[in-house]
Amino acid sequence: MAIYIRSPLYDQESIPLPKEVSILSKPFNGTICSNKGDEYSIKNNIIDLLTKEKSYTLAQSTNHWRMTASVYEDLWRVRSLSLLTGEPFPIEKEKEFLVHWVNPQPGKIYLDVGCSTALYARSLIKAEPESIQVAIDFSMAMLEEARMKSEAEQADIYLVRADAREMPFFGKTFDGVVMGGTLNELSDELKVLFECKRVLKDDGIFFVMHLIQSESWYGKVLQNSAEWSGIKFWTVEQSNELFARAGFAVEKQFTKGIVCFSKLLPV
């Protein structure tokens, strides 16, 4: 099935994305354009919809480095929740939360926001190969890594370079939106949450994993020192307040240490 994106420049204009773009075993290069003539390149299946360079916080900048992208998942991400909770928390357990709470369905379409190596999109398509997965990030280095890992797993995913503050999608496009660890790193979290709400169908699911404020003194010291790089932490109550402001109600929530999983529904 072809999917439609919204032109980043003309928000009434739709651009079809051929299914072949998501078939990562077959390199796809070319351009797509809207009826207004604005063109976007697709290189090696990665659709580049970032129209202008952005300014980044230090934490965000590091995600644009090839070195970070190449070690991010294998060195950090697979053990990040064990390190952050202080207890064994294998990546398989996190994927179980994701897959059970999102419950991907054949033919339904899901968006991984701030995907990095597309761990969540890959997990969802593995659980339901007939689902359609779209993953966005503004780091080309991360998307290239996502492409390699997805192709190796034969996970056909649409990989899109775009800013989550201005998503190139029409309203009510997705049956599910997922966001793992990205909330803490966003420059404008409320704007991104509003975008997640806009692109989600009324009966859709929003799955978020994020880090909350630590209660221990050493955790507080670590988090305070991370804040200068652009990483933010909230209490569970503050997080839920943010979700509510963006139009989401908490359906389920699970916290362990500073890690919080939420299943949110649009209200």
Which residues here bind ligand SAM, judged by CB under 6 A?
Answer: 60, 63, 77, 114-116, 119-120, 136-139, 142, 163-165, 180-182, 185-186
Q: Which is nearer to ligand SAM, 45 or 182 (CB)?
A: 182
Buried/exposed 50-80: b ≥16 CB within 10 Å, e otherwise:
beeeeeeeebbebbbeeebbbebbeeebeeb
Q: How far is the CB of 114 from ligand SAM (least distance, A)?
A: 3
Looking up tokens 């209200």 gives 267
Those residues whose C-beta lies under 8 Å from the C-beta of residue 83, and which sit 6 or more positions away, are none
Q: How far is the CB of 116 from ligand SAM (least distance, A)?
A: 3
Q: How far is the CB of 165 from ligand SAM (least distance, A)?
A: 5
Q: Which is nearer to ligand SAM, 67 or 267 (CB)?
A: 67
Spatial distance between the Cα atoms of 105 and 87, rounded to a whole number of angstroms: 32
Q: Which is nearer to ligand SAM, 25 or 167 (CB)?
A: 167
Q: Which is nearer to ligand SAM, 155 or 164 (CB)?
A: 164
Q: How far is the CB of 139 from ligand SAM (least distance, A)?
A: 4
Largest CA distance in the chain: 57
CA distances to 185, 220, 257 from 232, in Å: 7, 12, 16
What is the DSSP annotation of 20-82? GGG-TTS---EEEE-TT--EEEEETTEEE---S-----HHHHHTTSHHHHHHIIIIIIHHHHH
Spatial distance between the Cα atoms of 74 and 259, rounded to a whole number of angstroms: 19
Residues counted in the chain: 267
Q: How far is the CB of 257 from ligand SAM (least distance, A)?
A: 17
Q: How far is the CB of 182 from ligand SAM (least distance, A)?
A: 4
